[in-house]
Every structure is written in C-alpha cells, then in structure tokens.
Amino acid sequence: MSSEPPRRVLVLGLDGADFDVIDPLIAAGRLPHLAAWRRAGVAKPLASTVPPMSFPAWSTFLTGLGPGGHGLFDFSERIAGAYRLRFTNATHRRGATLLGRASRAGRRVLALGIPATFPPEPLDGLGVSGFDAPVSTGTDPRSASDPALYAAIAARVGPWKRPDLDEGAHESDFHERAVATLCARIESKTRFALEALSQLERTGRRPDLGVIVFAESDTVAHHYWRDHDPASPRHDPTASAVRRSAVAAVYERLDAACGALREAFGEDALCVVLSDHGSGGASHRVVHLNRRLADCGLLQRSASGGRLEAAARAARGLALRALPPAVAEALFRRARGAAARLESAARFAGFDWARTPAFCEEANTQPGVWINLRGREAQGCVAPDDYERVRGAVIEALCDWKLPGGAPVVARARRREQVYAGPCVARAPDVVVELALDAGYGLCLVPTPWSEPAADPIRALAGEALAGGRGRGTNGTHRPDGIWLATGPGAEQLDLAAAPALEDVAPTLLRWLGVAWEGDLDGVSLLRAEYGPEDEARVAARLRALGYLD
C-alpha cells in the first residue's frame, strides 16, 4: 500500500458558464479568483452533449457515457408505444456515477446541486440533489443521501435551495427583481456548502471528492443576455443599470463563492471549474418546427384533438403563471403523473395520426423529429419499409428551411444513429436537429400557435416579447462548448490538446482519485500517463462525429 495521502479533487460546476463572459470580466479585474487560477492552471473549452442541455450533459459528466449510453436526453421522455411522456429523473439513467464509484471505493464525497440526481444515491458523505424538473427546484431532507445531516446543516444555515423564482418571467418587474434573488441564492448555497464541509470534517469525514454546482450562471444568461450584450438583436437600450449589470453581478458572486469553497476544501486538492454547456444570445426570431413539417406535407392537424391540445396548453400556462413557485413545485411532486398527462396533451393531442408521418415535441431542450412508425407508435402510419424514405424527407425539409435572408434555420439534421451510440439510442428522436445561428445568435424552438392558422414557421418577436421567458424563447440560449479550468496539484498532468469533452471528466477524476474504472465508457482520461491508443481512437471517432475529421 502507498503511504502517500489520498489525492483529493474539488469540482466547482457553473452551469452554462462561458469563456465569452468570463474572459472580459477577468480583463476588467472583476473575477480575481478565476483570473489567478486561469493564469496558474490550464483552461480549455469543454465540448457538451447533443443537445447541450442540463439533464443529458450532467448525466454525461457523472457517468462518462454519452446520452446514447446513459439514456437521459431531456427533462422528459416519450413512453414507448404511446403519444405520452414522463418526466425523467436519476432512476431512468443507465450507468454508475463517479460519485457512487468513488464512495464504494472508500472515498468520501460531498455532492451538492447536480441536476438529474434525484432521488439521491447512497454515499459515504453527503449528496443533495439538484433540480429534478424545471418547476421542481427546491430541496429538503428527502433530497439528501443523509437526511439527518441535511437537516442539521439546514437548521444552522437554511436549505440548499428554495423554490423562490418563477422563470416564466411573466411579471412586469421580473427582470428588476430576479438578479437579487440569484445573488442571494449563490450566497445561501455557499453558506450551506461551507457548513457541510465543516460538519463532515468535525466528524472525521473530510471529503476526498467535492462536486458543488451552481445553476445561477445559466439562469442569468437565459434572462439577461440581451441586457449584457449591446449587440443582441433583443437588446433593450432603456434597460436599467440593474439589468445591464446582472450577468456580471452573478459571475462576481460566483467567483467569490469559488474562492471561499476552494479555501475551505483545501488548496492541496486539484480544483476543476467546469460547465455543462456554454451560453450566448438568442435571435429575435423563433421557429415553429411542426408548422414547417405541416407546410411540407409531413404533419396534419385534428380539429377535435386541437381543441384538447389548446385546453391543455391553457391549463398549463395558467398554472405556471398563477401559482407561486413553491406551490407549483409541491403540486408537481405530489402529482407528477398528472403533470405528465397534461404536458402530453399539450404536445401531442392536436395531430391527426392517420395522416401525420412525422412530428416534433417542440421542446427547445430537445429539438428532434419522430417518425410515426407503424408497429412502434400507437397509431403509426409509416410502414417499416418506408421509414428511411420518410426520415430522408424530413431531413431534406429541415435542411432546405431558410431564414428571410437565405441563411439556414437548421445547422444539422441527422439520423439518430449518426449522433449517438449505446443501448439507449432508441430513446432519442429519429431525426436529431441542431438549430443554426442567426447572425451569431441562437434560434429558439417554441410551440406552434395553431390558433393562428396563417402563422409562419419563422416568427420575428417585437416589443415586450423580446424579453422572452420559459416556453416563449428566452433571450439567452445554450452553446455547445462549456468551460474547463483546472488549477492546483495535478493540473499540469492534464492533457487538453485532444478536444476534451464532458464524457472525459468522470474517468479523469476517478483515475486522479485512484479509483479503477470498470465497465464501458465513452470518455477518456485526460491524465497524460493514462492516455493510450484506445483513447486516441475514441477521440478520433468523436472528432469525426463532430465533423472535424473526414
């Protein structure tokens, strides 16, 4: 046995953080901790998943598997053989997590706020789940691997997170108020994390692996990008100083939190700051994919089903607008099945299935197209022998779709097996869609307003609609590259020359901790001494899939 003390690592997750925000703030002297760590360590863009969304991305971070391997592609998934969906959580994911692997190998773990980790898995230490649905974000002892320890920490400093913000952004003063809530959240989470570290250390359980995730960098980008970026096509020149400084204010609080947490965890540990995806601005245009399919003869509406769909959408919208966040969360958790049925009707009730070869859920988090395949779908109308022809027609219709100036709406539309590998590929839409940028700004996919029969599949927003909100197209969108910044002991051993990706994180951290990786994985260790021919082959395959190699 080695006499050396066990290696330790702290991961600070800043959901949606982007170097396009960080670097100018570093240059302005506003992020002293990240600036020092970047100078002393190694930094690189970190490739996200397809789609670059929180549930699939953090699941890839945890498992070292792509979405085709772990099976979580979105906050919800379709139920096989039915035009219905269910909301996903950790029980729907394949693959052991780096948290569980480390804990079973004798390492103590502190993991706070990682999305898609509810219900919590048993750990030696403490795990507190991140949000398990967009309307379910608060935590209590049921969210923790050790409810008694959670309760003891919360009794001293409050819960990890309260459901205190309605991201539908319907109130007229939302953008004036929300930034203060986000900054307060960062401070309360930091207090919780520091108290958790203190209580674990006092009981002789100093963590070897710490993973602490803040979602506020993602939230502020969604709602304040247009105020942060004067070039945004949604920019409001009358925005208040509070709105204009919101993104910087949140990043400054996160920088301070990172500094405090690293000091408390111990600077003898490797420290990695990363994000699950990047962020950028949204175009002033939104797109309606089902309207495009209908215009191309690939989707037909049902008059009776359309009325049910409209009623479901109205009921969903009323609930989200009228209920306080804490009440909406409580109802969702008590009636998850009923919420899924309402969401299913809002997405699927309006189609004439006998005449609809292809359809989209029109969820911006997973912009894919399903083929209404006979024998697989409840009322499938596409014969198995016609499957590939229809998929080809869908891809052609999407790739021929143009913005008013002639630029493409869709960057890539590919068959799912061209994007994913693994046992869960069948959970993905038949055609995986990646929307293009509109003059450098992301297009948002929003549900088609079928009550407007002449609605165009591309719609330009104006006035108050430019602010956006959940379900209406936020003014900030996700980008496929997150951040990777490593500093402290061991950072010099990381080889970041080979396009690091989220699936590389789990094997890298476990090998740093001295934990053997057993089973399949899509990622490779970034530790130089561990990099071999099999890893090179995996990286080459990844680069080919991304279009960088022939």
Per-residue pLDDT band at 138 (split at 50, 70, 90): confident
Q: Inform me whether the pLDDT recorded for 132 exceeds 90.
A: no
Phi, psi dihedral angles at 435 (to 5 degrees):
-70, 150
Residues 6+ apart with CB under 8 A from 391: 371, 415, 430, 431
Q: What is the average pLDDT across 278-282?
A: 98
Pick from 349, 469, 368: which is nearest to 419 by CA?
368
pLDDT of residue 1: 34
Range from 163-172, 254-263, 402-411, 459-468 carrying the lowest mean pLDDT: 163-172
Of 105 and 335, more confident? 105
Q: Inform me whether the pLDDT recorded for 182 exceeds 60.
A: yes
Of 498 and 153, more confident? 153
Of 341 and 295, more confident? 295
pLDDT of residue 465: 93
pLDDT of residue 162: 86
Range from 226-230, 340-344, 350-354 carrying the lowest mean pLDDT: 340-344
Condensed to tens digits (0 to 9), the pLDDT of residues 232-261 reads 999 999 999 999 999 999 999 999 999 999
Please state the CATH superfamily assignment of the domain spanning residues 9-277+480-546 in this structure.
Alkaline Phosphatase, subunit A (3.40.720.10)
* Percent of the chain scoring above 90 in pLDDT: 74
Q: What is the average pLDDT across 104-109?
A: 97
CB 41 within 8 A of CB 487: yes
Separation between Cα atoms, residue 489 and residue 42, nearest integer Å = 12
Per-residue pLDDT band at 264 (split at 50, 70, 90): very high
CB 102 within 8 A of CB 109: yes
How does DSSP classify residue 340?
A: H
3-state DSSP of 159-188? CCCCCCCCCCCCCCCHHHHHHHHHHHHHHH
pLDDT of residue 169: 56
Separation between Cα atoms, residue 195 and residue 421, nearest integer Å = 41
Does residue 67 have a cis peptide bond before it, meaning omega lies within 30 degrees of 0? no
Separation between Cα atoms, residue 112 and residue 410, nearest integer Å = 36
Query: Would you state the structure tokens that stand for residue 545, as one six-digit string?
Result: 């899939």
Q: What is the mean pLDDT of the chain?
A: 90
Q: Inform me whether the pLDDT recorded for 67 exceeds 80.
A: yes
Per-residue pLDDT band at 3 (split at 50, 70, 90): very low
3-state DSSP of 37-100? HHHHCEEEEEECCCCCCHHHHHHHHHHCCCHHHHCCCCCEEECCCCCCEEECCHHHCCCCCHHH
Q: How many Cα atoms occupy the beta-carbon half-sphere of 38 within 13 Å?
A: 19
Evaluate if pTM is beyond 0.95.
Answer: no
Q: Inform me whether the pLDDT recorded for 365 exceeds 80.
A: yes
Separation between Cα atoms, residue 477 and residue 441, nearest integer Å = 8
Q: Inform me whether the pLDDT recorded for 83 exceeds 50.
A: yes
Starting at the edge strand found earlier in the chain, the sheet holding 481-487 runs 42-47, 481-487, 270-274, 9-14, 209-214, 109-114, 125-129
Q: Give strand ranges (E) for 122-236.
A: 125-129, 209-214
Q: Inform me whether the pLDDT recorded for 355 exceeds 60.
A: yes
pLDDT of residue 532: 47
Strand-pair category, 85-87 with 76-78: antiparallel
Pick from 58, 82, 52: which is nearest to 70 by CA?
58
Q: Inform me whether the pLDDT recorded for 332 exceeds 90.
A: no
Condensed to tens digits (0 to 9), the pLDDT of residues 502-548 reads 999 999 999 999 998 877 788 888 887 644 445 445 545 544 554 54
* Percent of the chain scoring above 70 in pLDDT: 89
Pick from 488, 489, 486: which is nearest to 526 by CA?
486
Of these ranges, 335-349, 434-448, 449-463, the one predicted with the greatest mean pLDDT is: 434-448
Separation between Cα atoms, residue 35 and residue 323, nearest integer Å = 41
Is the CATH number 1.20.950 carried by domain 282-301+352-476?
no
Q: What is the average pLDDT across 335-362?
A: 88
Q: What is the average pLDDT across 417-444?
A: 97
Q: Inform me whether the pLDDT recorded for 17 exceeds 90.
A: yes
Of these ranges, 172-176, 328-332, 478-482, the one predicted with the greatest mean pLDDT is: 478-482
pLDDT of residue 531: 43
Can you give the residue ranges of every domain in the chain?
9-277+480-546, 282-301+352-476, 305-350
Query: Would you state the structure tokens that stand for residue 471, as one six-digit string?
Result: 């379900």
Q: What is the average pLDDT across 473-495?
A: 93
Separation between Cα atoms, residue 93 and residue 98, nearest integer Å = 13
pLDDT of residue 493: 87
Residues 6+ apart with CB under 8 A from 360: 289, 290, 293, 367, 368, 369, 370, 429, 433, 445
CA distances from 371 to 82, 385, 386, 393, 426 (A): 13, 13, 10, 11, 12
Separation between Cα atoms, residue 284 and residue 200, nearest integer Å = 48
Burial of 504: CB neighbours in 10 Å, binned 0-12, 13-18, 19+: buried
Q: What kind and span of H or E run contains 191?
A: helix 174-202
